[in-house]
Chain A
Protein backbone atom coordinates (compact mmCIF):
# COMPACT_ATOMS: atom_id res chain seq x y z
CA UNK A 1 0.00 0.00 0.00
CA UNK A 2 2.68 2.47 1.03
CA UNK A 3 4.51 2.16 -2.28
CA UNK A 4 1.46 3.73 -3.98
CA UNK A 5 1.80 6.86 -1.88
CA UNK A 6 3.96 9.43 -3.62
CA UNK A 7 6.49 11.24 -1.41
CA UNK A 8 6.34 15.01 -1.47
CA UNK A 9 9.07 17.56 -0.94
CA UNK A 10 8.59 21.03 0.47
CA UNK A 11 10.83 23.25 -1.64
CA UNK A 12 11.92 26.65 -0.33
CA UNK A 13 12.29 29.24 -3.08
CA UNK A 14 13.92 32.62 -2.53
CA UNK A 15 12.63 35.63 -4.46
CA UNK A 16 14.49 38.81 -5.31
CA UNK A 17 13.83 42.36 -6.49
CA UNK A 18 10.70 42.78 -8.62
CA UNK A 19 9.66 39.14 -8.10
CA UNK A 20 9.85 39.56 -4.32
CA UNK A 21 7.72 42.69 -4.52
CA UNK A 22 5.10 41.18 -6.84
CA UNK A 23 4.63 38.15 -4.58
CA UNK A 24 5.08 40.08 -1.33
CA UNK A 25 7.38 37.43 0.20
CA UNK A 26 11.14 36.90 0.35
CA UNK A 27 10.69 33.15 0.43
CA UNK A 28 7.88 30.83 -0.62
CA UNK A 29 7.31 27.12 0.00
CA UNK A 30 6.11 24.91 -2.85
CA UNK A 31 5.10 21.30 -2.28
CA UNK A 32 6.02 19.02 -5.17
CA UNK A 33 6.43 15.27 -5.69
CA UNK A 34 9.95 14.06 -4.90
CA UNK A 35 12.38 14.03 -7.80
CA UNK A 36 10.78 16.72 -9.96
CA UNK A 37 12.69 19.14 -12.19
CA UNK A 38 13.15 22.90 -12.14
CA UNK A 39 10.60 23.19 -15.00
CA UNK A 40 7.99 21.35 -12.94
CA UNK A 41 8.70 23.56 -9.92
CA UNK A 42 8.44 26.74 -11.99
CA UNK A 43 5.06 25.65 -13.37
CA UNK A 44 3.82 25.02 -9.85
CA UNK A 45 5.08 28.44 -8.74
CA UNK A 46 3.23 30.14 -11.61
CA UNK A 47 0.03 28.24 -10.74
CA UNK A 48 0.24 29.27 -7.09
CA UNK A 49 1.33 32.84 -7.84
CA UNK A 50 -0.33 33.80 -11.15
CA UNK A 51 0.87 37.37 -10.68
CA UNK A 52 4.28 36.03 -11.80
CA UNK A 53 2.96 34.92 -15.19
CA UNK A 54 3.93 38.18 -16.88
CA UNK A 55 7.51 37.57 -15.67
CA UNK A 56 7.71 33.92 -16.76
CA UNK A 57 10.33 34.59 -19.45
CA UNK A 58 12.04 37.28 -17.38
CA UNK A 59 13.69 35.20 -14.70
CA UNK A 60 16.11 32.31 -14.38
CA UNK A 61 16.23 29.72 -11.62
CA UNK A 62 19.34 29.06 -9.58
CA UNK A 63 20.00 25.88 -7.62
CA UNK A 64 22.69 26.17 -4.97
CA UNK A 65 23.90 29.47 -6.44
CA UNK A 66 24.20 28.12 -10.02
CA UNK A 67 21.84 29.09 -12.83
CA UNK A 68 20.28 25.87 -14.07
CA UNK A 69 18.34 24.46 -16.98
CA UNK A 70 14.76 23.26 -16.66
CA UNK A 71 15.65 19.58 -16.58
CA UNK A 72 17.71 19.84 -13.37
CA UNK A 73 16.26 17.58 -10.67
CA UNK A 74 15.75 19.27 -7.31
CA UNK A 75 15.45 18.16 -3.69
CA UNK A 76 14.25 19.87 -0.53
CA UNK A 77 17.86 20.39 0.59
CA UNK A 78 18.69 22.52 -2.47
CA UNK A 79 18.74 26.30 -2.19
CA UNK A 80 16.56 27.59 -5.00
CA UNK A 81 16.05 31.17 -6.10
CA UNK A 82 14.23 33.00 -8.88
CA UNK A 83 16.43 35.72 -10.36
CA UNK A 84 15.13 38.55 -12.57
CA UNK A 85 17.53 40.33 -14.99
CA UNK A 86 20.48 41.77 -13.07
CA UNK A 87 21.52 45.43 -13.05
CA UNK A 88 24.27 45.93 -10.50
CA UNK A 89 27.24 48.24 -10.59
Chain B
Protein backbone atom coordinates (compact mmCIF):
# COMPACT_ATOMS: atom_id res chain seq x y z
CA UNK B 1 0.00 0.00 0.00
CA UNK B 2 2.70 2.46 0.91
CA UNK B 3 4.51 2.42 -2.47
CA UNK B 4 1.17 3.01 -4.21
CA UNK B 5 0.44 6.04 -2.03
CA UNK B 6 3.80 7.68 -2.51
CA UNK B 7 3.14 9.41 -5.87
CA UNK B 8 -0.09 10.93 -4.55
CA UNK B 9 1.60 12.20 -1.40
CA UNK B 10 4.36 13.73 -3.45
CA UNK B 11 1.84 15.51 -5.67
CA UNK B 12 0.00 16.91 -2.66
CA UNK B 13 3.26 18.03 -1.14
CA UNK B 14 4.35 19.76 -4.35
CA UNK B 15 1.08 21.60 -4.71
CA UNK B 16 1.19 22.69 -1.09
CA UNK B 17 4.74 23.91 -1.49
CA UNK B 18 3.88 26.00 -4.51
CA UNK B 19 1.09 27.87 -2.75
CA UNK B 20 1.90 27.68 0.93
CA UNK B 21 2.94 31.30 1.29
CA UNK B 22 -0.40 32.61 -0.02
CA UNK B 23 -3.28 30.64 1.42
CA UNK B 24 -6.75 31.86 0.58
CA UNK B 25 -10.00 30.36 1.66
CA UNK B 26 -13.74 30.77 1.74
CA UNK B 27 -14.88 28.69 4.68
CA UNK B 28 -17.85 27.88 6.88
CA UNK B 29 -15.51 27.24 9.84
CA UNK B 30 -14.73 29.60 12.70
CA UNK B 31 -11.74 31.81 11.92
CA UNK B 32 -8.75 31.43 14.19
CA UNK B 33 -6.44 34.37 14.77
CA UNK B 34 -3.85 31.98 16.23
CA UNK B 35 -3.82 29.84 13.08
CA UNK B 36 -3.52 32.88 10.83
CA UNK B 37 -0.68 34.30 12.91
CA UNK B 38 1.12 30.97 12.72
CA UNK B 39 0.75 30.93 8.91
CA UNK B 40 2.36 34.38 8.74
CA UNK B 41 5.47 33.54 10.72
CA UNK B 42 8.59 34.39 8.76
CA UNK B 43 12.01 35.18 10.20
CA UNK B 44 12.69 37.72 7.47
CA UNK B 45 9.50 39.66 8.26
CA UNK B 46 9.74 42.48 10.79
CA UNK B 47 6.09 43.50 10.50
CA UNK B 48 2.84 41.64 10.74
CA UNK B 49 -0.47 43.42 10.11
CA UNK B 50 -3.84 41.80 10.69
CA UNK B 51 -7.33 43.06 9.92
CA UNK B 52 -10.33 41.30 11.45
CA UNK B 53 -13.90 42.10 10.47
CA UNK B 54 -16.48 41.25 13.14
CA UNK B 55 -20.28 41.22 13.12
CA UNK B 56 -21.61 44.40 14.77
CA UNK B 57 -24.81 44.59 16.77
CA UNK B 58 -25.95 47.62 14.77
CA UNK B 59 -26.78 47.43 11.09
CA UNK B 60 -28.58 49.38 8.39
CA UNK B 61 -31.92 47.92 9.46
CA UNK B 62 -31.66 48.07 13.25
CA UNK B 63 -30.29 45.86 16.01
CA UNK B 64 -28.55 42.94 14.38
CA UNK B 65 -28.66 39.50 15.96
CA UNK B 66 -26.71 37.76 13.22
CA UNK B 67 -25.55 38.08 9.64
CA UNK B 68 -25.87 35.45 6.94
CA UNK B 69 -22.97 35.49 4.45
CA UNK B 70 -23.24 33.82 1.06
CA UNK B 71 -20.51 33.49 -1.58
CA UNK B 72 -20.07 32.35 -5.13
CA UNK B 73 -17.11 30.43 -3.75
CA UNK B 74 -15.31 29.47 -6.96
CA UNK B 75 -15.31 33.02 -8.28
CA UNK B 76 -14.64 34.50 -4.83
CA UNK B 77 -11.50 32.38 -4.46
CA UNK B 78 -10.36 33.46 -7.92
CA UNK B 79 -10.97 37.16 -7.26
CA UNK B 80 -9.24 37.00 -3.88
CA UNK B 81 -6.24 35.35 -5.51
CA UNK B 82 -6.19 38.15 -8.09
CA UNK B 83 -6.25 40.81 -5.34
CA UNK B 84 -3.51 38.96 -3.45
CA UNK B 85 -1.31 38.92 -6.56
CA UNK B 86 -1.82 42.67 -6.99
CA UNK B 87 -0.81 43.27 -3.37
CA UNK B 88 2.24 41.08 -3.80
CA UNK B 89 3.29 43.04 -6.91
CA UNK B 90 2.75 46.44 -5.26
CA UNK B 91 4.42 45.80 -1.92
CA UNK B 92 6.53 42.64 -2.14
CA UNK B 93 5.00 41.15 0.98
CA UNK B 94 6.44 38.02 2.57
CA UNK B 95 3.30 36.08 3.47
CA UNK B 96 -0.41 36.64 3.17
CA UNK B 97 -3.55 35.00 4.50
CA UNK B 98 -7.06 36.08 3.51
CA UNK B 99 -9.99 34.04 4.78
CA UNK B 100 -13.69 34.92 4.59
CA UNK B 101 -16.20 32.97 6.60
CA UNK B 102 -19.70 32.32 5.18
CA UNK B 103 -22.93 31.05 6.72
CA UNK B 104 -24.71 32.40 9.80
CA UNK B 105 -22.50 34.47 12.11
CA UNK B 106 -23.58 35.87 15.44
CA UNK B 107 -22.70 39.31 16.82
CA UNK B 108 -19.02 39.40 17.78
CA UNK B 109 -17.98 36.58 15.47
CA UNK B 110 -15.27 37.19 12.89
CA UNK B 111 -16.32 37.20 9.23
CA UNK B 112 -12.95 37.95 7.69
CA UNK B 113 -9.27 37.91 8.58
CA UNK B 114 -6.60 39.47 6.40
CA UNK B 115 -3.02 38.97 7.52
CA UNK B 116 0.14 40.25 5.89
CA UNK B 117 3.77 39.89 6.91
CA UNK B 118 6.51 42.00 5.35
CA UNK B 119 9.98 43.32 6.07
CA UNK B 120 8.74 46.72 7.32
CA UNK B 121 5.45 48.10 8.67
CA UNK B 122 4.52 50.35 5.76
CA UNK B 123 4.10 47.44 3.31
CA UNK B 124 2.13 45.36 5.81
CA UNK B 125 -0.28 48.22 6.66
CA UNK B 126 -0.84 49.24 3.06
CA UNK B 127 -1.25 45.72 1.70
CA UNK B 128 -3.71 44.82 4.44
CA UNK B 129 -5.81 47.94 3.73
CA UNK B 130 -5.68 47.34 -0.03
CA UNK B 131 -6.83 43.75 0.32
CA UNK B 132 -9.81 44.40 2.61
CA UNK B 133 -10.95 47.40 0.53
CA UNK B 134 -10.84 45.33 -2.65
CA UNK B 135 -12.46 42.26 -1.12
CA UNK B 136 -15.42 44.47 -0.23
CA UNK B 137 -15.89 45.74 -3.78
CA UNK B 138 -14.64 42.97 -6.09
CA UNK B 139 -15.44 39.61 -4.51
CA UNK B 140 -18.86 37.96 -4.96
CA UNK B 141 -19.93 37.70 -1.33
CA UNK B 142 -23.28 38.92 0.00
CA UNK B 143 -24.65 39.55 3.47
CA UNK B 144 -28.12 39.49 4.92
CA UNK B 145 -28.75 41.32 8.16
CA UNK B 146 -30.99 39.45 10.54
CA UNK B 147 -32.81 41.51 13.18
CA UNK B 148 -35.76 40.69 15.45
CA UNK B 149 -38.09 42.25 12.89
CA UNK B 150 -36.62 41.39 9.52
CA UNK B 151 -34.05 39.66 7.32
CA UNK B 152 -32.73 41.93 4.58
CA UNK B 153 -29.90 41.72 2.06
CA UNK B 154 -27.72 44.79 2.36
CA UNK B 155 -27.09 47.09 -0.57
CA UNK B 156 -23.70 46.78 -2.14
CA UNK B 157 -21.59 47.41 -5.19
CA UNK B 158 -22.19 45.96 -8.64
CA UNK B 159 -19.18 44.01 -9.85
CA UNK B 160 -17.36 45.34 -12.90
A residues whose Cβ falls under 8 Å from a Cβ of B: 14, 16-18, 20-21, 58-60, 62, 65, 67, 79, 81, 83-89
The A-B contact count (CB < 8 A) is 84
**A84: which B residues are within 8 A, CB to CB?**
142, 153, 156
Interchain CB contact (< 8 A) of B156 among A14, A79, A81, A85: A85
Smallest CB gap from B142: residue in A: A17
The 4 closest A-B pairs by CB, nearest first: A88-B141, A87-B156, A85-B156, A17-B142
Q: List 24 A-B contacts (CB under 8 A).
A: A17-B144, A17-B153, A18-B142, A18-B153, A20-B70, A59-B158, A65-B74, A81-B72, A81-B140, A83-B72, A84-B142, A84-B156, A85-B157, A86-B157, A87-B136, A87-B142, A87-B153, A87-B154, A87-B155, A88-B112, A88-B135, A88-B140, A88-B141, A89-B112
Question: Which B residues from 117 to 160 make CB contacts under 8 A with A?
Answer: 132, 135-144, 153-160
Residues in chain B near residue A67, CB distance under 8 A = 159-160
B87 to chain A minimum Cβ distance, whole angstroms, is: 16
* Contact B142–A16 (Cβ < 8 Å): yes
Give the chain B neighbours of A85 by CB distance below 8 A.
155-159
Residues of chain B contacted by A17 (CB below 8 angstroms) = 70, 142, 144, 153
Interface status of B49 (Cβ within 8 A of chain A): no
Query: Please, how many angstroms separate the alpha-carbon atoms of A89 and B139 in the complex?
Result: 9
- Where the two chains meet, the residues of B that have a C-beta atom closer than 8 Å to any C-beta of A are 53, 69-72, 74-76, 78, 100, 111-112, 132, 135-144, 153-160
Give the complex CA separation of A30 and B154 in angstroms.
28
Whether B144 pairs with A88 at a CB distance below 8 angstroms is no
Chain B residues contacting A14 (CB-CB under 8 Å) are: 72
A35 CB, min distance to chain B CBs, angstroms: 24
Name which residue of chain B comes closest to A14, CB basis.
Answer: B72
Q: Which of A16, A18, A58 contacts B140 (CB 8 A)?
A: A16
* Complex CA distance for A12 and B100, rounded to whole angstroms: 27
Min distance, Cβ B80 to any Cβ of chain A, angstroms: 10
- Shortest C-beta distance, A11 to chain B (Å), equals 17
Q: How far is the CA of A63 from the CA of B138 in the complex (A)?
A: 16
For the complex, what is the distance from the CA of A62 to the CA of B70, rounded to whole Å?
17
Q: Which chain A residues lie closer than 8 Å to B157 at the CB level? A: 85-87
